[in-house]
Chains A and B, each alone.
Chain A
Amino acid sequence: MREEIIISGRNNPLIDPQLHVWHWEIPTYLFLGGLAAGLMFFAALYTIRNKENEYKTAVRIAPMLAPIALILGLVALFLDLHHKLYFWRLYTTIRLESPMSWGAWTLMIVTPMSIIWTAMHIKEIFPKWNWKFDVIEELIAFFQKHKKTLAWIMLVSSAILGIYTGILFSAFNARPLWNTSILGPLFLASGLSAGAAVVIWMSKNHAERKRFAQLDLMIIGIELFLIIHMFMGFLASTQVQIDAANLFLGGEYTAPFWIFVVFLGMIVPAILEGMELKGFKIPVAIPVVLVLFGSVMLRFIIAYAGQESRWLY
């Protein structure tokens, strides 16, 4: 038997008795960032592949949610900071070793990008939109002319954004649950899945909905594969990572993770989307809401459980 206690009465807020320094702000941002990454990724992808007219919602309409998601996400990130007035310090330096620095700079590229993309397509929703200033019209015309280049930048930067949301966690070896490189691809896949779900929801075109339902099914398959892979990796690793995996395999996060994330967030929507592809009539909102819910829960559970996992000494 081994018992370890702090006898000098340490009770540092947010650290003791158990680390919980990142609250709802971080997972909320990770979800919104991932969603925006997913939306922008598909928009860029189908622009590059000249499928703009076939997948109108994905290219022109759904990405308009991206700047909203990103701005709300940035607000959440800002709320998370404890020394708020110094936030600009992020932009006085580039630190290649710090995932958060990467994230801050990626957002600096992605957010304006999403706003430009929205501005380019705003007339799809508001045909009478008037920019009032010629400069803006000219600027938009310029971007329209270089749409392909823009799409390429967007494709790469949104993929970085999607992966980085996972890397932010996986770079911490102090928290064994997070310390797996699977988190990067897993969060990217989850973001893409959320993005595809939103496109399915907004689209009125049958072919487009079918295409994105297929895509979503495939991505959910990848996510399930990555999750199984993650646990295999943990269980074959050191004691601290075995303990981390046990938080989900009998520990306190078992029920929420397997029920909310895997069953309701992946398996059920996958079955529903599969049935829909087979010709059953299923209200589209159900699988979409489930996918988004699963995506949110994944971030919250990983963020909270990760802070509970630790080294033994």
Chain B
Amino acid sequence: MRYAMAIDTKKCVGCSDCVVACQTENDVPIGYCRDWVVEVMDGTYPQLEMELRSERCNHCENSPCVRCCPTGASHYSEGGTVLVTKNECIGCSACITSCPYDARFVHPEGYVDKCTFCLHRVKNGMQPACVAVCPTKCMYFGDLDDPRSEVSEILKKRKYKTLIPEAGTKPHLYFLI
């Protein structure tokens, strides 16, 4: 099982609902966020092109954060999700510096926190909070190993890209373009 998410940059309107849904669902401390929306503007007026991306931890297959963790607190969990065990984390921040996506942060309680792909919801057959709440239905979540999953189907049909593949991280966040 390999969980992955595909995000349609053509359908995303940048409303940031996914960000608020995540903060509510996961009790993210005020002033922090586990996901965010990036707007890329290309070209010069009047030839402009815009891309909107809802970003979060890429749950990489070859995670630098898991590799550099000195205690094993950062680890691969069910479906290849990358999680942090908070009582093993010493808050050394090595994983934060190792992440090319800047997806991690230090929780006010001291341990390092990040997106979990809402594994607690996924295990109960629900979708991650950000996916469930998206008003334009631009996010797809599922198992890459299952050819019939929503995410596999859409990746078969559409062109996509991943972020910084040259860093060798093998990210599991796909952006449909």
Contacts and interface: CB of A to CB of B under 8 A. Distances in A.
A138 interface: no
B93 A82 contact: yes
Interface string A1-43: 1111111111111111001011000000000000000000000
Contacts of B92: 80-82, 100
A84 B71 CA distance: 13
Interface in A83-105: 83-84, 86-87, 89-90, 92-93, 95, 97-101, 103-104
Contacts of A310: 100, 102
B39 A86 contact: no
Contacts of B105: 12-15
B138 interface: no
Interface residues of B, number: 52
A285 B129 CA distance: 63
B97 A174 contact: yes
A264 B168 CA distance: 39
Given A7-B37, A90-B70, A174 B99 contact: yes
A86 B85 CA distance: 12
A6 B111 contact: no
A101 B100 CA distance: 21
A172 B102 CA distance: 13
A171 B32 contact: no
B88 interface: yes
A86 B90 contact: yes
Contacts of A172: 64, 68, 97-98
Contacts of A87: 90
A98 B96 CA distance: 14
A22 B68 CA distance: 15
Interface of B: 14, 16, 19, 31-33, 35-44, 52, 64, 67-73, 86-94, 96-100, 102, 104-106, 109-112, 163-164, 166-168
23 contacts: A1-B41, A1-B44, A5-B39, A7-B37, A8-B36, A10-B33, A12-B33, A13-B105, A15-B104, A21-B97, A80-B92, A89-B73, A89-B88, A93-B71, A95-B71, A95-B72, A98-B67, A100-B68, A101-B70, A101-B71, A172-B98, A307-B97, A313-B164
Given A13-B105, A100-B70, A311-B100, 14 more contacts: A7-B14, A11-B31, A15-B104, A22-B97, A80-B93, A86-B88, A86-B91, A86-B111, A89-B89, A93-B70, A173-B167, A174-B64, A174-B98, A310-B102
